[in-house]
Structure formats: C-alpha cells, structure tokens
Amino acid sequence: MTTPTFDLVGVGLNATDTLLLVPKYPELGGKVAFEREIISPGGQVASALVTCGKLGLRTKYIGAVGDDERGRIQMASLREAALNLDDLQIRAGCPNQSAYIVIDQSTGERTIFWHRPDCLTIDPAQITPEKIVCGRMLHVDGHDTPAVARAARIARDHGIPVSVDVDNIYPGFDQVLACVDYLVGSTEFPVRWTGERDPFRALERIQDEYGMRVAAMTLGPNGALAREGGQFVYSPGFVVNCIDTTGAGDVFHGAFCYSVLKGASVRDALEFSNAMAALNCTRLGARGGIATADQARDLIERGDRRSHPDFSRNPISR
C-alpha cells in the first residue's frame, strides 16, 4: 500500500476578513467610531489546515480563491504556511469570500457579516479519488455540500477517517454525516439538526443515527463536549486575556485533527484543542495567535479553567 503524501487533506472554505475594532458593540440603530481596521486571512478549513501545518503536519488544501486583492492576501498566507496548493483553483474575475468582523474590545467577542459569491463554488467533479487518498485524514466543512459529500464518500470507501466542522443546516448534509468519523459541530448545530434542546440528547441522537466514532460540539469559552462509545466527555475551556474570538473554532478543529493523527484520546484531544483555541483568542485575527504545541501544553499544565455546570454535571456517562 502506498504511503500517504499528506497527513491531512482539507476541502472547504477560506475567507479574507476585515476586522473592525470598536470599544463596545453599539445597540441596534446606534453609532460608534471604530479604532482600527485590519485585513486578515481566515476561513474554516483553510485556517484548520494552517494550524496543522504550524504544528508540523503535512497538509493539502482543495478549494477556490478569487483573483482580487483579498484572494491574493489569502494566497500569500496559505503559501507562507507551506500548504500544498496544487488543487486550489484561482477563479478569474471572481472576488474572494470576504467577511466584515466587528470586534467588541470590551469582551473580545465578534459579530460577523460575510459573503461568498457563487463563482467560488467547488464543483464535485473537481473532487477525484487521487486528490483525497493521498492523505491520512480528511477535514471538511459543510458549505459546498455536494463537493464535500463526494470527498467524504471517497475517504470512507478507502478507510480514511473524516472530520467535519459544521455550524449551519445545509440541504443534503446527511450524505456528509453518513461518512463522518469525527463530528465537531458548533454549539448550535446538534440542537438545530435534531430538534433536541438538550445537547446531550442531541449528540446522542446524531451519533446513534449516523454511527460516527465521535460526536462533539464546541462551547465557546466553556470548552467542548463529546460522546464516544456511549460515554460523554466534557473538557472545560481555559481562562485567557481574550482579545478576539475570530477563528477560535477553526483553530480548535485543526488542533483536534492533529490530536487524532497523533493517536490522542478524546479527552486529551479536547483539552489540547481548547488550549489552542484559547491561545488564538489572545491575538487579533483568525490565525493571529496560532500557538505551538509546547505553548498549548504549558497552558494545559498551568492555566485556569472555566467549567460550565450544565456540562460538568455529568461529564463521563449518561
């Protein structure tokens, strides 16, 4: 059997963000002067791959980038991170996905306004087996569902584990979930998908229906919750000086994929991913604070944790 060329292959989004720093987010209809404007590359799968690359993994990105200035900024960032871009398409006459992110400096929380033109859609025909089987693991998001479903099916057929980052409901996404080994959804996704208001029951229903090895959800500053083998694992978040939460989830997913590839337990994977996400929040931008593995381990060893009673009440089994 041929040795895979890459540790992680990713299919999904990238974006170029404009960060607007305000002293405090205004009330509806209000008005406030922003203090700084920063252009910063981001995007779910792209930032997860950059995280893995900075942690020492060999990574390959499959997606589409516009040929405008925002696209050039994104390309420069991906090249600097040494991602393999052989199957990244640059779309002529197409603006890159963009986001305007208003950061409340009193809390570090952000509000996002984004747009992705149709000319960036990933064609499922672009996803061929040789582009997927060259990796030890596949990471996808949910936006171009037909394309990521094809990638996930190829990976499943070749015994390659699949991780997915999803926060919205997409038509046909059940085809992706049927091929997923590691689901790490947003806080809202399990509840939205199942209609179950109890997150424990929501994760249980998703995992039982689709049979993935791990069904998990991120909880923002409160950490993450996962279910594996009929047991729940809750990992509290870390207390840091939060400057900007942009990209924290993307870095979490990259760190989680890294942990899986390193053979970590789910508990250790969640703890490491929480630490990496927290450290990214101490700098501006989606990729501004991607830490080293040693820095994350130091936070795990020395840092304070923020445990939420709704999730810590029964963290082992249910």
* CATH of residue 222: 3.40.1190.20
**pLDDT at 2 exceeding the cut of 80:** no
How many CB atoms sit inside 10 A of residue 44's CB? 26
With contact defined as beta carbons under 8 Å apart, do 219 and 295 qualify? no
Q: How far apart are CA 315 and CA 311, in angstroms?
A: 6
Q: Percent of the chain, pLDDT > 70?
A: 97
**pLDDT at 317 exceeding the cut of 50:** no
Q: How far apart are CA 245 and CA 195, in angstroms?
A: 27
Residue 314, pLDDT score: 56
254 within a domain of the structure (yes/no): yes
98 within a domain of the structure (yes/no): no
194 within a domain of the structure (yes/no): yes
pLDDT, tens digit, 9 for 90 and up, residues 201-258: 999 999 999 999 999 999 999 999 999 999 999 999 999 999 999 999 999 999 999 9
CA 158 from centroid of its chain's CA atoms? 23
pLDDT, tens digit, 9 for 90 and up, residues 27-37: 989 999 999 99
162 within a domain of the structure (yes/no): yes
Residue 294, pLDDT score: 98
pLDDT bracket for residue 313 (50, 70, 90): low
99 within a domain of the structure (yes/no): no
Number of domains in the chain: 1
pLDDT bracket for residue 282 (50, 70, 90): very high
237 within a domain of the structure (yes/no): yes
Helix axes 293-302, 266-280, angle to 10 degrees: 100
190 within a domain of the structure (yes/no): yes
pTM (2 d.p.): 0.94
Residue 241 domain boundaries: 6-12+43-63+76-85+121-312
* pLDDT averaged over every residue in the chain: 94
252 within a domain of the structure (yes/no): yes
pLDDT bracket for residue 315 (50, 70, 90): very low
